[in-house]
Amino acid sequence: MAEPRIGVVGATGAVGTVTLSLLAERGHRNVRAFASARSAGRTLPFGDGGILVEEATPETLAAGDLDICLFSVGTSGSRELVPHAVRGGAVCVDKSAAYRLEPGIPLVVPEVNGRRVAENTGIVANPNCCTIPLTCTLKPIHEAAGLAAVRVATYQSASGAGAAAMERLRSKTADELDLSMDWDFDGEEFDEESKLRAETRKIMELDDLPVSATCVRVPVLVGHTEAVWVETEEPLTAEEARGVLAEAPGIRLVDFPTPGRAAGEDDVLVGRIRADRAGGRGLSFLVVCDNLRKGAALNALQIADLLPLPRAAAA
Ligand code: 2RA
């Protein structure tokens, strides 16, 4: 049986390279790699061989020979190029913030709201790399006891800021290491913090859910950590929360989750589940996930798995 023709757009970046390696691991061979003119002509590793990088232009993406495009080119690149790929007949899974909050465009974490993929008219948005693991944990807690409020503090790795940020971190000495906050600041919040709130509300279909986030970047290469405090509508003990999280898809309970343990893993690691000592119907827990895999590339592939096979590919 023919397989879908997949384009990886932004193939040379931190997420693009993981996307290619996941596609190769899963046995996809009908794959093309696209990037900027600067990278066109390079060969990237793909399975046991290599894949030629083509320039991502409106014309090549609109040519009508791709069924699925997996975009990781940043917001302005996606705004420019995604419509051309859609025009050419591809369904685009976009990992930038360009379309996430647009009405009518599904924003999808398969374990949480995978059914929304069917509503796409050419674009499915992939959430922020902190929103994905957070909502994987919030969904089962909401189903068990109703969510009343969510507070989260993130410890995000350099790879969330791209391959160049990873290189900068590698070149630093221990004395130079520090926290950073490298997102757009509106005078009160970073856009990373407001994205986490708005995307969580959209995915969970809880428009008024109180969500408060504080995001920082830590000197870690891969793996975003989130310390989460939730208040529930109904009582839920830590033991009960452990039970519902243990059963939830895509989650693995571990005692002490760390980025080192999560890097290279598909699962979202959850641990330190306990009653919030500040009182009320509160629970605290720690969530860690490989931000390049489940936080980005893997989630996009799982979305692609939910798309109906294109007629040409199914023939
Ligand atoms: C970050 N969430 O880590 C973003 C991913 N681009 O900055």
Average pLDDT over residues 301-305: 97
pTM of the model: 0.96
* Beta strands across the sheet bearing 91-94: 43-46, 49-55, 31-35, 6-9, 68-71, 91-94, 123-125
Which ligand 1 atom sits nearest the alpha carbon of residue 182?
7
Give all domains of the chain, ordered by start, each with its CATH number.
Answer: 6-127+297-314 (3.40.50.720), 131-290 (3.30.360.10)
- 91-142: pLDDT as tens digits: 999 999 999 999 999 999 999 999 999 999 999 999 999 999 999 999 999 9
Q: Distance between CA 276 and CA 294 in Å, rounded?
A: 27
If one compares 312 and 24, the residue with the highest pLDDT of the two is 24
The CA–CA distances, whole Å, from 230 to 55, 143, 165, 233, 286 equal 45, 13, 32, 10, 11
CA–CA distance, 158 with 96 (Å, rounded to integer): 17
| 199-257 tens-digit pLDDT | 999 999 999 999 999 999 999 999 999 999 999 999 999 999 999 999 999 999 999 99
Residues present in the chain in total: 315
Secondary structure (DSSP) of 197-256: HHHHHHHHT-TT--EEEEEEE-S-SS-EEEEEEEEESS---HHHHHHHHHHSTTEEE-SS
- Which residue's entry shows tokens 């290469």? 221
- Residue in the block written with tokens 């902190």: 130
Expressed in angstroms and rounded, the spacing between residue 160 Cα and the centre of ligand 1 is: 4
Among 126, 128, 197, 288, residue to substitute to test ligand 1 (most atoms within 8 Å of Cβ): 128
CA-CA distance, 186 to 249, in Å (whole number)? 36
